[in-house]
């Protein structure tokens, strides 16, 4: 009876402890880094009324022991170190741990550990927990920003931290140099000029007397039509090729009908006409050439309707607009025999036996000194071209006539020699020689150069602007480069050189003049004391690669950059996922200041809870093992966030109900035992 009372009392006591732990969990459901507590129960000592007996061979079997429990006791109160959720705060000094581990905190004498990553900067610029003043522990970087493994200590953000100046050692050049950068001259071309066709002219280039191009193309077929004595002339076909000439056509015609003799007219009155003589002894009628779909050709190859025996006629005898063939003019043609594409002659007034052409225009933006060129009936187009060449001071490229009957005038290179206009006018007339109108086909251009500037630094942090200029070697895939500095610097060596590109636009060679291996300059005048001489290597990219300087046709664009920097003071800092505290300095450089240390334990459940979300080492936790996040240990830090409590309120409320009912049940055991004792007392009344 008394055992039940003791059991009930122990149950009430144990469940009261359970209620205390649950209440603490619920109370800390919003505590940063809080870890849930858990209670486990053990049965207390048991009283044996009768021991077990073993079976007797051939007799009674064995019996089980008879035992009465003496109640319950608290077996353990454990801490659940499961990961909590993260809450973003945006504060750079708030840090959450992802994975196992603890922040290491110190008060100057004792060390404690915590999952709560609430930190700030105190008045002396230490990283501390603002509610307790405990200082965050880690490793500080040396003067060069290097962090070595060593004993941990207080993390200090020194506001007076300075990054010393660093002299530049390399200049990177990136971009494209336009391959079309050579200086060039202007090109003026006249309208197409025609002359009476000759035997060598190509059929596909022929024009009619006034109807323009005959429109023949390679692949066309020409037939000869007509009747001899009332019977159709039997002929074969002539297949036009790109190389078929007037003479080829005449030769073919002379094989088609015996006694019909064809030739190119030699009569000055019918230049370029096809002439036929009828030696067949019969009358010829309806004689013409025909090519399907080529009406201009067909109109220019019609002979008179009736050609009596022994008669001679030409294609020009049919009418005054068709029949005379025109080919592209050449330098040997006389000016008086030149036609424009409209079929009209130049119209020179040769009534006095000669005429004068005034040659004018502009050169380099200024009017040229006009020249007067006298023309007689024998003056050739080539002679006029020579006069044009002298008028515009062209020496490098002779004035020529191309395969399409155009006079081409290519001026000297550069805008100073640019031919802006060419005019030909007959002296003392209104004839501006429209058949020889010139137009620009290429503008003059000076040699193009490209520049890029970048800042470099000396050993004292002084800034110096260095400018690289690149100029193409005319007609070559080679460039000359030169460096220049705008201050009082003195370039000692390597200030110029050459580089070449291959046919694919990749750099193939880069060199310094005078055998230098790099560019060196003195930051100040030679009679002044100051920074050390700066030695720079020019990084132009990989030979054969396209990762630096290139040469393609198109827009030229260059970029330059250099290492080195001036001295800078600490402006701000940030913390990364590995716990590195990185300072940002006024010279736009970054440097490591320190690194946050973490601690792990063989048995983190063996840690002793202390006030303010901290833990201390016990004999069962093991010694702390200092480590850093991001070193392959599965631990990372999340700056700007905090780990929330891992309390599950739904689960805690369920446990609360269970503990309450268990407490009530145990109280009923005590009440029932008390009632039975009362009955026993009543027995003696």
Same domain, 118 and 174: no
Res 449: pLDDT: 92
- Same structural domain, 557 and 475: yes
Q: How far apart are CA 347 and CA 336, in angstroms?
A: 8
Collapse the DSSP code of 653 into the 3-class scheme (helix H, G, I; strand E, B; otherwise coil) and give the result. helix
Please tell me the predicted confidence (pLDDT) of residue 423. Answer: 92
- What's residue 69's pLDDT? 78
554 and 464 within one domain: yes
Domain span at residue 352 reads 344-442
Residue ranges in the chain modelled with pLDDT below 50: none
Q: Tell me: do 546 and 453 sit in the same domain.
A: yes
Is residue 569 left, alpha or beta, with left meaning phi > 0 and alpha meaning psi from -120 to 50? beta
Whether residue 33 lies inside any domain: the answer is yes
Tokens representing 563 are 């290492």
Q: Rounded to whole angstroms, how far apart are CA atoms 655 and 624? A: 33
Using CA atoms, how far residue 40 sits from 54, 309, 374, 662, 666, in Å, is 35, 139, 126, 14, 17
Position 116 scores a pLDDT of 95
pLDDT at residue 526, as a whole number: 53
We report the CATH number of the domain holding residue 530 as 2.60.98.20
On whether the pTM is more than 0.85, the answer is no
C-alpha distances (whole Å) from 223 to each of 38, 111, 287, 300, 644 are: 113, 113, 11, 14, 100
pLDDT for position 318: 81
Q: Is residue 338 part of a domain?
A: no
Do residues 592 and 652 share a domain?
Answer: no
pLDDT of residue 143: 85
Residue 210 lies in a domain: yes
Q: What is the largest CA-CA distance in the chain?
A: 181
Q: List, in order, residues 6 or more apart from 628 with CB less than 8 Å away.
A: 578, 579, 595, 596, 597, 598
Instruction: Tell me the per-residue pLDDT of 351-400, one tens digit each, with 9 for 90 and over.
Output: 889 999 999 999 999 999 999 999 999 999 999 999 999 999 999 889 99
Give Cα separations from 590 to 225, 570, 582, 585, 640 (angstroms). Answer: 93, 9, 6, 6, 20
Instruction: Quote the tokens at residue 91.
Output: 């504060």
Do 305 and 365 lie in one domain? The reply is no
From 566, 595, 629, the end of a domain falls on: 566
The answer to whether residues 145 and 175 belong to one domain is no
Q: Do 63 and 116 reside in the same domain of the chain?
A: no
């Amino acid at each position: 009876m008394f055992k039940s009372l003791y059991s009930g009392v122990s149950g009430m006591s144990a469940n009261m402890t359970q209620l205390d732990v649950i209440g603490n969990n619920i109370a800390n459901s919003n505590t940063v880094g809080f870890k849930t507590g858990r209670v486990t129960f053990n049965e207390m000592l048991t009283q044996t009324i009768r021991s077990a007996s073993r079976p007797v061979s051939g007799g009674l079997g064995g019996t089980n022991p008879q035992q009465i429990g003496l109640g319950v006791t608290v077996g353990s109160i454990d801490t659940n170190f499961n990961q909590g959720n993260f809450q973003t705060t945006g504060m750079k000094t708030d840090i959450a741990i992802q994975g196992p581990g603890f922040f290491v905190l110190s008060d100057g004498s004792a060390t404690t550990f915590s999952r709560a990553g609430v930190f700030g900067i105190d008045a002396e610029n230490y990283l501390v927990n603002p509610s307790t003043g405990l200082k965050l522990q880690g490793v500080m970087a040396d003067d060069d920003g290097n962090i070595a493994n060593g004993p941990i200590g207080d993390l200090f953000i020194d506001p007076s931290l300075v990054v010393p100046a660093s002299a530049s050692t390399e200049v990177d050049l990136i971009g494209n140099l336009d391959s079309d950068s050579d200086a060039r001259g202007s090109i003026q071309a006249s309208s197409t000029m025609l002359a009476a066709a000759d035997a060598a002219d190509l059929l596909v280039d022929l024009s009619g007397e006034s109807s323009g191009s005959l429109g023949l193309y390679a692949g066309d077929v020409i037939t000869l039509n007509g009747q001899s004595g009332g019977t159709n002339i039997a002929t074969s076909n002539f297949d036009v090729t790109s190389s078929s000439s007037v003479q080829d056509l005449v030769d073919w015609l002379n094989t088609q009908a015996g006694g019909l003799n064809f030739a190119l007219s030699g009569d000055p009155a019918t230049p370029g006409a096809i002439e036929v003589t009828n030696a067949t002894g019969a009358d010829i009628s309806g004689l013409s050439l025909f090519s399907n779909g080529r009406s201009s050709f067909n109109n220019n190859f019609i002979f008179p309707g009736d050609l009596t025996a022994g008669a001679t006629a030409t294609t020009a005898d049919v009418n005054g607009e068709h029949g005379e063939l025109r080919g592209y003019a050449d330098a040997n043609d006389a000016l008086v025999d030149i036609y424009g594409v409209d079929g009209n002659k130049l119209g020179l007034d040769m009534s006095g036996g000669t005429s004068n052409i005034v040659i004018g225009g502009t050169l380099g933006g200024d009017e040229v000194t006009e020249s007067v060129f006298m023309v007689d009936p024998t003056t050739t187009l080539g002679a006029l071209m020579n006069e044009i060449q002298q008028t515009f001071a062209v020496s490098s490229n002779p004035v020529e006539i191309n395969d399409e009957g155009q006079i081409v005038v290519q001026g000297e290179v550069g805008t100073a020699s640019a031919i802006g206009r060419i005019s030909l006018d007959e002296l003392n007339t209104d004839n501006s020689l429209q058949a020889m109108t010139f137009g620009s086909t290429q503008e003059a251009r000076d040699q193009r150069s490209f520049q890029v500037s970048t800042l470099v630094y000396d050993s004292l942090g002084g800034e110096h602007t260095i400018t690289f200029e690149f100029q193409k070697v005319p007609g070559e895939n080679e460039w000359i480069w030169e460096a220049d500095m705008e201050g009082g610097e003195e370039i000692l060596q390597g200030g110029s050189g050459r580089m070449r590109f291959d046919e694919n636009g990749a750099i193939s060679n880069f060199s310094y003049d005078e055998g230098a291996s790099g560019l060196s300059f003195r930051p100040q005048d030679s009679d002044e004391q100051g920074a050390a001489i700066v030695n720079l290597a020019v990084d132009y990219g990989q030979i054969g690669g396209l990762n630096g300087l290139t040469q393609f046709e198109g827009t030229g664009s260059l970029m330059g950059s250099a290492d080195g920097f001036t001295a800078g003071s600490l402006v701000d800092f940030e913390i990364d996922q590995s716990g590195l505290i990185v300072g940002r300095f006024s010279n736009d450089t970054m440097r490591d200041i320190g690194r946050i240390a973490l601690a792990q334990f063989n048995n983190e459940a063996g840690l002793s809870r202390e006030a303010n979300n901290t833990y201390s080492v016990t004999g069962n936790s093991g010694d702390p093992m200092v480590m850093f996040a991001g070193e392959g240990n599965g631990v990372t830090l999340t700056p700007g966030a905090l780990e929330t409590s891992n309390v599950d309120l739904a689960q805690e409320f369920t446990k609360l109900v269970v503990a309450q009912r268990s407490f009530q049940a145990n109280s009923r055991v005590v009440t029932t035992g008390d009632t039975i004792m009362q009955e026993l007392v009543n027995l003696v009344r």
